[in-house]
Amino acid sequence: MHFLKKFPVPSFLLPKENANTYTSHLEDLHIEGCPALTCLQATDQISITLTRLEICNDFASFPKGGFPNSNFTLVIERCEKLEALPSEIHTLSSLEINDCPNMSLSEEGLPTKLSLLAIKSLKQYKALMQTGFHNFTSLTRLSIFGKPDGESLQEEDMTITLPRSLTMLSIEEFPKLKYLPLKDFEDLPCLDWLRIYDCPELTFLPSLPSSLLQLYISRCPLLKEACKRDKGKEWFKIADIPYVEIDYKFIYDPEEE
């Protein structure tokens, strides 16, 4: 196993305290279904690219010194006791955090070289909403998910600043969202893909950037009505976008006439 680089670790192989039984050449580690795993430890001899951490309900901490090589994609799912990201991950390229209710993020605690960021659960992104994403100059893909019983994305007098590097934006599952609090959204020069999903109270769109090529709207009944072809009050905002789908139907489909 001297040249082992990828090894999915089943739960019965890992001890309760840590998962520090790696080879020196291990690059990709996928840990899944380990409810008793509480921490990870790393040494200077270990070169690890942690690609996914999932269903570790008691997992609470990463190595204090972070990871020796931090240019990786990190996916963390359903870690209910995890409160913070590992340190020393300044070159992390992609981060997805799903259903980690006790984790709180701020702009200062995230690597600014991220190209992809996906976060789900209000506590994780509320601080980010307040400070904005303008320092993430390499960020091209951003996905923000709410929860069925969660609060709205907007707060009074608060707008969100997005990085000008952004090319894809997805906003999903905000049942109380009435508008998109996006500052200078129409000035984003690279944004060409936008998805809005399951925001039933959303009634109108912000001014959209001229670079937008694809727009997808699903499960947003009030917005759907406002975007009716040639009739809706928001139609003028989407009429010139080359490809628009509303509830999985192309707006220029003859059947939609």
- Region 125-141: mean pLDDT is 79
- Region 131-152: mean pLDDT is 79
Distance of CA 91 to the CA centre of its chain: 17
> CA-CA distance, 163 to 137, in Å (whole number)?
6
> CA-CA distance, 203 to 82, in Å (whole number)?
36
Give the closest residue to 172 by CA, choosing from 192, 202, 131. 202
Question: Helix or strand or coil: residue 70?
Answer: coil
Burial group, residue 68, by CB count within 10 angstroms (0-12, 13-18, 19+): middle
Could you tell me which residue, 215 or 112, shows the higher pLDDT?
Answer: 215
* pLDDT class of 146 with cuts at 50, 70, 90: confident
Which pLDDT tens digit goes with each residue over 188-245? 999 999 999 999 999 999 999 999 999 999 999 999 999 999 999 999 999 999 999 9
β-bridge pairing 243-246 and 249-250: antiparallel
Give the pLDDT of residue 60: 80
Which pLDDT tens digit goes with each residue over 151-160? 556 655 567 8
Give the pLDDT of residue 45: 45
Q: Is the pLDDT of residue 104 over 70?
A: yes
- Region 80-86: mean pLDDT is 81
Give the closest residue to 231 by CA, choosing from 255, 253, 211, 251. 251
């998109």: which residue's tokens?
A: 180
What tokens appear for 43 in the block? 């040494």
